């Protein structure tokens, strides 16, 4: 009798889930998701990793996943605490031979796998590519090659065919009888996370909501106009809005690509429809880059030989986080982010450029705040894009400095965006004589 342990992370779906298919090749299967207590505690950047917007979306996604598994004779066990300890306890109790998970690219999750391999040398650990268009080994993903930039990477992969998405399994192996699901929330999760109303109602977590949104988007004419409107700051129809479900793994990039191809066959392909695929390639590029660069993804100097000049000014940081800077456009971006957990790609670039260039701050603190706030936080895309703006990543220009006045005149011509999100801009200077506290997160 073989027992597999499927550790779910950012792969909360049954459709096109090769990790689940691999894990199901066993006599007995345990499906577990670990809520890491470290997510809720401020870390070295003075803010917690998990914010309330993403937490609400995650819980909805877990509820859907649990129901989908139940229909197929399985159930999702949710464990709270330190994942390495929770997984180790399950491995020992049920004599697990195989641990299956999606390929991990971030330091924390890789350290968990290293811990398990050291404590269980006989355990077979298999990482499966579930978050990308292509599999490891399909092309050169060495750091030396990826550092050359996005364009050489794109030319490599555009010649490849995206594999067909896998269908959701109709049934799954049973779980050991001793496994009992525990859905109660521990006391160490702050009370504010237990309020279900936080965040944008436009984003409902889970595979079902992801599929509904995917179909609604591609049943419209919006993909044919995507490139023309993708830089707009605020309007539901100016973006595909697929990123939250992609980040949580409720939707696979392969499924999106196949649906895009069907759209082009039915309504015709143009530059805008291609640009949706182009954006998926950018997302994928940051994924492989994060895997290759390892801990340098979180280092001040990034991929450069020396760190940039940067300070840590608590008052400036607090004003930027809460949208109280002298720049109305930046304030609107930051207040929208705080209210909804979402911000357009253009808005993220504007806010990040202000943080790095106007405020002269350590880019990692801005990246950490985005990690805390974003409902669609993705470690590779978030930290990779911040490196890009800060000039310590792969940008051949050595960083991006946006002229805030020019950005406002181009993307908020009538001032409607600022009036909606930040109608009142402080008259005070950016700095005062008094120190400010860090924002509570």
What's the rounded Cα separation, in Å, for the pair 247 and 203?
A: 12
Question: By percentage, how much of the chain surpasses pLDDT 90?
Answer: 83
What's the rounded Cα separation, in Å, for the pair 134 and 314?
A: 42
For residue 185, pLDDT over 90 is answered with no
32 φ, ψ (degrees, to nearest 5): -140, 140
| pLDDT band at residue 247 using 50, 70 and 90 as cut-offs | very high
Strand partners, 33: 8, 78
For residue 178, pLDDT over 80 is answered with no
What's the rounded Cα separation, in Å, for the pair 150 and 170?
A: 39
Label residues 271-284 b or e (16+ Cβ within 10 Å = b): ebbeebbebbbbbb
Contacts of residue 27, Cβ cutoff 8 Å, sequence gap at least 6: 1, 2, 3, 173
For residue 440, pLDDT over 60 is answered with no
Helix or strand holding residue 76 (H, E): strand 76-81
**pLDDT confidence of residue 275:** 97
Tokens of 200: 């944008």
Asked if residue 226 belongs to a known ligand binding site, the reply is yes
For residue 438, pLDDT over 70 is answered with no
Asked if residue 377 belongs to a known ligand binding site, the reply is yes
For each of the domains in the chain, give its residue range(s) and CATH number, in order of start: 1-130 (3.40.50.620), 131-165+207-298 (1.25.40.80), 314-421 (1.10.579.10)
pTM for the whole structure:
0.94
Q: Any idea what the Cα angle at residue 19 is, between residues 15 and 23, rounded to 5°?
A: 110
pLDDT (tens digit, 9 = 90+) per residue, 24-43?
999 999 999 999 999 999 98
**pLDDT confidence of residue 245:** 98
SS3 state of residue 356? helix
C-alpha R_g of the chain: 22
What's the rounded Cα separation, in Å, for the pair 427 and 390?
A: 28
The conformation of residue 439, written as its DSSP 8-state character, comes to P
What's the rounded Cα separation, in Å, for the pair 347 and 329?
A: 9
Asked if residue 243 belongs to a known ligand binding site, the reply is yes
Please count the CA atoms within 13 angstroms of the CA of 323 that sit on its side-chain side. Answer: 19
pLDDT (tens digit, 9 = 90+) per residue, 191-222?
888 765 555 567 999 999 999 999 999 999 99
Lowest mean pLDDT among 56-65, 205-214, 277-286, 308-317: 308-317
Asked if residue 346 belongs to a known ligand binding site, the reply is no
**pLDDT confidence of residue 181:** 57
For residue 96, pLDDT over 80 is answered with yes
**pLDDT confidence of residue 232:** 92
Mean pLDDT over all residues of the chain?
92
Asked if residue 240 belongs to a known ligand binding site, the reply is yes
Helix or strand holding residue 102 (H, E): strand 98-102
SS3 state of residue 36? strand
Asked if residue 221 belongs to a known ligand binding site, the reply is no
**pLDDT confidence of residue 397:** 77
What's the rounded Cα separation, in Å, for the pair 369 and 351?
A: 11
pLDDT (tens digit, 9 = 90+) per residue, 255-267?
999 999 999 999 9
Tokens of 414: 């009538």
pLDDT (tens digit, 9 = 90+) per residue, 328-350?
999 999 999 999 999 999 999 99
**pLDDT confidence of residue 400:** 87
For residue 363, pLDDT over 80 is answered with yes
Asked if residue 342 belongs to a known ligand binding site, the reply is no
215, 227, 248 from 242: Cα distances, Å: 11, 15, 11
């Amino acid at each position: 009798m073989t027992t597999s342990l499927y550790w779910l992370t950012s792969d909360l779906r049954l459709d096109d889930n090769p990790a689940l298919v691999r894990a199901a090749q066993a006599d007995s299967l345990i499906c577990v998701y670990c809520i890491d207590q470290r997510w809720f505690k401020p870390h070295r950047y003075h803010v917690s990793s998990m914010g309330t917007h993403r937490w609400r979306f995650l819980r909805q996604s877990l509820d859907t996943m649990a129901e989908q598994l139940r229909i197929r004779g399985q159930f999702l066990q949710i464990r709270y605490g330190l994942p390495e300890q929770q997984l180790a306890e399950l491995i020992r109790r049920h004599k697990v031979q195989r641990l299956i998970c999606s390929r991990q690219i971030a330091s924390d999750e890789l350290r968990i796998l290293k811990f398990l391999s050291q404590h269980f040398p006989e355990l077979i650990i298999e990482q499966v590519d579930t978050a990308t268009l292509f599999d490891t080994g399909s092309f050169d993903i060495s750091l030396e090659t990826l550092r050359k930039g996005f364009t050489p990477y794109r030319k490599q992969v555009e010649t490849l065919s995206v594999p067909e998405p896998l269908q959701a399994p109709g049934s799954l192996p049973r779980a050991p009888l001793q496994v009992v699901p525990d859905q109660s929330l521990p006391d160490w999760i702050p009370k504010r996370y237990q309020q279900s109303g936080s965040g944008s109602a436009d984003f409902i977590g889970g595979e079902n909501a992801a599929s509904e949104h995917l179909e609604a988007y591609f049943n419209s004419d919006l993909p044919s106009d995507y490139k023309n409107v993708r830089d707009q700051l605020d309007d539901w129809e100016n973006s595909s809005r697929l990123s939250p479900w992609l980040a949580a793994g409720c939707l696979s990039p392969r499924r999106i690509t196949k649906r895009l191809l069907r759209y082009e066959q039915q309504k015709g392909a143009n530059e805008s429809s291609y640009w949706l695929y182009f954006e998926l390639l950018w997302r994928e590029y940051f994924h492989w880059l994060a895997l290759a660069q390892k801990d340098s993804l979180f280092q001040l100097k990034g991929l450069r030989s020396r760190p940039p000049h940067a300070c840590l000014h608590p008052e400036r940081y607090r004003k930027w986080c809460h949208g109280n800077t002298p720049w109305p456009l930046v304030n609107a971006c930051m207040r929208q982010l705080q209210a909804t957990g979402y911000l357009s790609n253009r808005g993220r670039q504007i806010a990040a450029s202000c943080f790095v260039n106007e405020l002269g701050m350590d880019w990692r603190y801005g990246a950490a705040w985005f990690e805390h706030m974003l409902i669609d936080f993705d470690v590779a895309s978030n930290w990779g894009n911040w490196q890009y703006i800060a000039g310590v990543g792969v940008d051949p220009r050595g960083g991006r400095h946006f002229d805030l006045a020019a950005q406002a005149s181009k993307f908020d011509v009538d001032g409607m965006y600022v009036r909606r999100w930040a109608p009142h801009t402080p008259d005070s200077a950016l700095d005062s004589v008094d120190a400010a506290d860090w924002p509570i997160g």
